[in-house]
Chains A and B, each alone.
Chain A
Amino acid sequence: MKRPPFTPLIAAVPLSIVAVFVIGARWFAPNAAEPDIYTGVTAPGDAGHLFGTDQLGRDIWQLAVAGAGSAVVGPIVIAVGSMVLGLLLGSLAGYLGGGIDLALSKYADLLLAMPTTLVALVVAGLVDGGYWVTVLVLLVLFSPTDIRVARAAVMEQSARPYIESARVLQLSRFRVMFRHILPNVLPIAMATMLLNVAFALVAMSGLSFLGFGVGPGTPDWGRQLSDGRDLIGQNWGAVVVPGLLIIITAVAINLMGDWLQERFEQRGAQR
């Protein structure tokens, strides 16, 4: 499908803003998590708070700026980690084949057959070991997709003439794998990784929306959204601000990932 070329540009705008939030939160919103119980809930526009305040009197906008970090950093770690794992295991499976391939494929099948939302909720909720344990749980649950993508891409590449010539030249398996196959698999892996950031963002914020992963009072979009749910009649900002931030960020990453995937698929096919 042909999409207007400005898609990545449009997606880049909100993503840069979120990046600025993540890096600059300590300067823009230094006291975001400080409760101010004398203020309590206020509607948007009252008392100098553009989007109002929550139950604890915290400014909704500042809290959202401060919450960008935990909403975005974990998902990036999940996507990168599961891609590294996927590339490592997937290329082993795809290139070496045989028993290793069978074992890894069965492992991926098992994880893929599990209902992800459900398992993530049960595992992360039960372990309840805080933010980084949740990240680890999701990383493991995300890896089978990456293993499959990497495996398929490696198998597809290793049947091509340039790999055959590399074999004829008697280059070592290691060298063929990492110097010749990997660079051609990387683009498609990158696109998958970007899409995974979006899925992980949705999954992580979903878990914190349910109360798992981040502690009460911590600035986080999912947490803020679930707190805001109780204020829906008093301050619409408490729901609309974190809600739209999650939606816009997830959609922007998706647009970017889709666009990259299409470009790389076209390029990979010409090689």
Chain B
Amino acid sequence: MSRHFARGSLGRFIVVRLAATALLLLVLSFIVFGLLHLTPGDPARNLLGPRNPSPDAIAAIRQKYRLDEPFLRQYLLWLNDVVHGQFGTSIRSETPVTTLLADRVVLTLQLALMSFVLTVVIGVPLGIAAAWRAGSAFDRTVSVSSIVGVGAPSYAVGLVLLYVFGVWLDIFPVYGSGDGGLDTWWHLVLPAITLAFGIGALAFKLTRTAVVGELQQDYVAFAYSRGLTRRQVRSLVLRNALIPVATSLGLVFGFLFGGTILVEVTFALSGIGGLLASSVTFKDIPVVQAITLITAAVIALTALAVDVLYYAVDPRVRARGLK
């Protein structure tokens, strides 16, 4: 066995995790596929509309989308396509799923990225500042507000913000994704703030807890007693405390990608979240499958990337090896 696959090595770790991710995606896709079949409602009928469709028309559509095959065979055929990079054709819009998703994935990524930047730029520094002055009025105020941020749901916060800044003060656009370029970024400001409100509060809590925990370590007292300045001690503390924070932030990015669904619906953005919600109602099997898998894969791969990053930045993890 090569050195790269020894116990605790990075290579082995990545391979094992990739296999676990593939397994998770397989289970998830099977559950979704099974549910689509077990539940009432027929996409062929949804497509033909409320008029009484002819049996021939239904049969033709069922054949085109392979709905007439037995369940397991349908699943295996679908799986075979996915392995070959084909996500099939949307039943509702009759366009290839990859084409349908291409633009929307970009918008969702833009939204996730913007709120992630807001989260990091606001949540983390506030957490550090609150931890330096733990117990002060500033700390208490921000901490209580963070409970509001963690507790309040994005769709409700989003609509209240939409009313205040979109309708009442008329600063931001109310609906839609804009005409591309800068206009799109401008349309994403309120949605991104909405998402970052909840996740930034989470980032604040994580950062504050990590820094407070680090400040209680013995080496901090020792460093002070050796006469190190406050500045020097703080830079030591930050180096140690921010490693777990960075890890959690990576996981937060994964959550963001899943959390965009509600925000996209709230602000009528044409990302993949909004598409998922309407495709579920329509039972547009290929689209639901593709979005579920892409989102789950992004979340799982971000978690993996974070762990690898952990290995790269933290010498203690390198020494101990990965599990």
On A, residues with C-beta under 8 Å from B are 1-4, 7, 110, 113-119, 121-123, 125-128, 198, 202, 205-206, 209-212, 222, 225, 228-229, 232-233, 236, 239-240, 242-244, 246-247, 250-251, 253-255, 258
| Chain A residues closer than 8 Å to B151, beta-carbon distance | 198, 202, 247, 250-251, 253-255
Interchain CB contact under 8 A, A205 and B153: yes
User: Given that A117-B259, A121-B280, A122-B35 are known contacts, is A225 also in contact with B162, CB under 8 Å in the complex?
Assistant: no
Q: Is the CB of A243 within 8 A of B292?
A: no
B289 to chain A, nearest CB (A): 9
Contacts of A212 in B (CB 8 A): 280
Q: B276 contacts A121, CB within 8 Å?
A: yes
Q: Which residues of A sit under 8 angstroms from B177, Cβ to Cβ?
A: none
Per-position binary interface string of chain B over residues 118-145, scored 1 when its CB falls under 8 Å from any chain A CB and 0 otherwise: 0000000000000000110001100110
Q: Does B265 contact A (CB under 8 A)?
A: yes
Q: Does B163 contact A (CB under 8 A)?
A: yes
Q: A209-B265, A258-B147 are in contact. Are A233 and B152 (CB under 8 A)?
A: no
**Scoring B residues 248 to 287 as 1 if CB is less than 8 Å from chain A, else 0, what string do you get?**
0000001100110110011000000000110011010000
Inter-subunit contact A251/B266 (CB<8 Å) = no
B174 within 8 A of A: yes
Query: How far apart sit A209 and B139, CA to CA, in the bound complex (Å)?
Result: 34
Number of B interface residues at 8 Å Cβ cutoff, please give it: 51
Nearest CB to that of A2 among chain B residues?
A: B135
Having A115-B254, A115-B255, A255-B144, one finds 9 other A-B pairs with CB under 8 Å, namely: A1-B143, A2-B135, A3-B143, A121-B280, A210-B277, A232-B167, A244-B156, A246-B156, A247-B152
Q: How far is the CA of A211 from the CA of B265 in the complex (A)?
A: 11
Q: Are A250 and B163 in touch, CB under 8 angstroms?
A: no
Contacting A251 at CB < 8 Å: which of B152, B155, B299?
B152
Q: Which residue of A lies closest to B212 (CB)?
A: A1
Q: Are B144 and A3 in contact (CB under 8 A)?
A: yes
B266 contacts which chain A residues (CB < 8 A)? 209, 229
The reply to whether B32 and A225 contact each other, CB–CB distance below 8 Å, is no
Q: Are B156 and A123 in contact (CB under 8 A)?
A: no
Contacting pair A117 B258 (CB below 8 A)? yes
Q: Chain B residues with Cβ under 8 A from A229's Cβ?
A: 159, 266
Q: Which A-chain residue is minimally distant from B153 (CB atoms)?
A: A202
Chain A residues near B280: list those with CB within 8 A.
121-122, 125-126, 212
Interface check B36, CB cutoff 8 A: yes
Which residues of the partner chain A approach B162 to less than 8 Å between Cβ atoms?
Answer: 232, 239
Question: When the two chains form the complex, which single residue of B39, B134, B153, B292 contacts A127, counting CB atoms closer than 8 Å?
Answer: B39
Q: Which residues of B44-72 are within 8 A (CB) of A?
A: none
11 contacts between A and B (CB under 8 A): A1-B143, A114-B24, A115-B299, A118-B258, A125-B281, A209-B262, A232-B159, A233-B174, A250-B151, A251-B152, A254-B151
Contacts of B31 in A (CB 8 A): 123
Q: For residue B300, which residue of chain A has the nearest CB?
A: A113
Q: Which residues of A have CB within 8 Å of B163?
A: 232, 236, 239-240
B110 within 8 A of A: no
Q: Distance (Å) between the CB of B243 and the closest chain A CB?
A: 22
Q: Which of B150, B151, B168, B266 has the most CB of A within 10 A?
A: B151
B261 touching A122, Cβ below 8 Å:
no
Residue B134 contacts which of A1, A119, A125, A254 (CB distance < 8 angstroms)? A1
What's the Cα separation between A127 and B166 when bound, in Å? 36
Asked if residues B36 and A118 are in contact (CB atoms below 8 Å), the reply is no
List B residues 106-126 near A (Cβ within 8 Å): none
Tell me the minimal C-beta distance from A52 to chain B in angstroms: 13
Please state if A247 and B160 are interface contacts (CB–CB under 8 Å): yes
Give the residues in chain A near B211, CB-CB below 8 Å.
none
- The residues of B that contact A119 with a CB separation of less than 8 Å are 28
B160 touches A117 (CB 8 A): no
Closest residue of chain B to A237 (Cβ to Cβ) is B163
Asked whether, in the complex, the Cβ of B155 is within 8 Å of the Cβ of A117, the reply is no
Checking A114, A128, A225, A254 against B147 with a beta-carbon cut-off of 8 angstroms, the contacting residue is A254
A198 to B153, CA, bound (A): 10
Min CB distance B294 to A, Å, is 10
A128 to B147 Cα, complex, angstroms: 32
Distance in angstroms from A112 CB to nearest chain B CB is 11
Assembly CA distance A123 to B296 (angstroms): 14
Of B41, B139, B148, B174, which one neighbours A232 at CB under 8 angstroms? B174
A123 to B266 Cα, complex, angstroms: 20
Docked complex Cα distance between A110 and B163 (Å)? 40
| Docked-complex contact A240 and B277, CB < 8 angstroms | no
Contact with A along B143-183 (1 / 0, CB 8 A): 11001101111011101101100111000001000000000
Q: From A244, which residue of chain B is reached at the shortest CB distance?
A: B160
A113 touches B155 (CB 8 A): no
B288 beta carbon closer than 8 Å to chain A: yes
In angstroms, Cα B120 to Cα A88, docked, is: 39
Q: Is the CB of B262 within 8 A of A206?
A: yes
Chain B residues with CB below 8 A from A1, complex form: 134-135, 139-140, 143
User: Which of these, B35, B159, B295, contacts A115 with CB under 8 Å?
Assistant: B295
Chain A to chain B: the 10 pairs with minimum beta-carbon distance, closest first? A254-B151, A125-B280, A251-B151, A202-B153, A243-B156, A115-B258, A247-B152, A246-B156, A126-B35, A250-B151
CB distance from A252 to the nearest CB of B (A): 8
| B238 CB-CB contact with A under 8 Å | no
